[in-house]
A = this chain, B = another copy of it.
Amino acid sequence: MRVAGCDYRTVWLDGSTVRAVNQALLPHRFEIAALATHGDTAGAIRDMVVRGAPAIGAAGGFGMAQVFLEAPSELPARVEYVEQGYQRLRLTRPTAQNLFYALERVRQAGLAQIDPAQAASAAMAEALAYADQDAAACLRIGQLGAPLIREGATVLTHCNAGWLACVDWGTALAPIYVAHRAGRKLKVLADETRPRLQGMSLTAWELAAEGVSVEIIADNAAGFFMRSGGVDLVITGADRIAANGDTANKIGTYEKALCARASGIPFYIAAPASTFDLNCPDGQGIPIEERSGEELTSVAGLDEQGRLVKVRIAPAGATARNPAFDVTPAELITGIITEKGIIRPTAQDIARVIAPAIG
């Protein structure tokens, strides 16, 4: 998508270097990170320079291609290096299904070749294909989801499942972009999404850059706006969807789904087929990452002189608990917008549509 007159993807391969929009600096600075090795790429995923499940998948795929580029020529050292790199990339974030999926695809493509150079180029081709397919899937999600947004609608979203979270277009925001580009009038309420404020700093930024009307609200205010008639539709992304439709997404998604149900508002998940984990029967099988409490107790922002400063907002010595995701049970979800169609969140419909798509 466009930033200051140029088209960008969130992450791409430039020779053997992975380049990525540094999302840890947004919305205050727009910088491109250069990740020279798979270790750098793993660090960028872990530190959320790259974030958002599909973008993590693409970055992981490129990182896995870097592993093959870096690996020694001789067997078995090569296989050992590949396995170590695979594990290193895999352990960066425990919840993102897209990451595991992309890593596996690129690893298998590389391991299928005996010649080291052919292994590296097969891995690169597979990583590039993953990224292109993700961008195409997101556009398709946008086209399929856009009719849900009627003229004049207000859409509430949580966290950032926009183009910054993907390779391009976004998942939850793709229908909004497609509807907006088709000339439909609409408005977005963006939950700020504590603790990391991705809604405040990324969703509000990218929507405004595209010219979509957006207002930031406290996560606490989502229920108020839904109950008082100010929301027509909720769309969020997903980090992993179990076989029965239970969906892990950014912490707080479950609360917003409860609010939507209480007010009779449709609640949609938008995610590519690669987000589904059909080996996971339901939400109880999805591990929930608990991150450092410091993400809550400190906040970074611009001071009056325009310097990026981190400030502590908690009392000295306070402790915080910080689960990064929650699971929204399938029964609270109206539908799941995928590139294969809008699916009802039932094991039957998911198996019918998704199983053929992801093999």
Contacts and interface: CB of A to CB of B under 8 A. Distances in A.
Chain A interface size range: 35 or more
A201 B301 contact: no
A302 interface: yes
Interface stretch (A13-21, A119-127, A215-223, A340-348): A215-223
A311 B313 CA distance: 11
A28 B297 CA distance: 13
Contacts of A301: 298-299, 311-313
Query: What is the copy number of this chain in the assembly?
Result: 2
B224 A254 contact: yes
Contact of A221 (B204, B215, B309, B321): B321
Interface in A207-265: 208, 214-225, 227, 250-252, 254-255, 258-259, 262
B220 A194 contact: yes
Given A223-B258, A223-B326, A311 B309 contact: yes
A330 B327 CA distance: 27
Contacts of A252: 218-221, 223
Contacts of A302: 311-312
A318 interface: yes
Contacts of A193: 220
Q: Which of A200, A225, A311, A320 has the most CB of B within 10 A?
A: A311
A219 B255 CA distance: 10
Contacts of A293: 216
B216 A318 contact: yes
Contacts of A300: 311, 313
Given A194-B192, A216-B321, A326-B223, A315 B255 contact: no
Interface of A: 27-28, 189, 192-195, 197, 200-201, 204-205, 208, 214-225, 227, 250-252, 254-255, 258-259, 262, 288, 293, 296-304, 309-323, 326-327
22 contacts: A192-B194, A200-B318, A201-B314, A204-B315, A205-B318, A208-B318, A215-B319, A215-B321, A216-B293, A216-B296, A216-B314, A218-B251, A221-B251, A221-B252, A221-B326, A223-B255, A223-B326, A224-B323, A227-B326, A299-B299, A300-B313, A301-B312
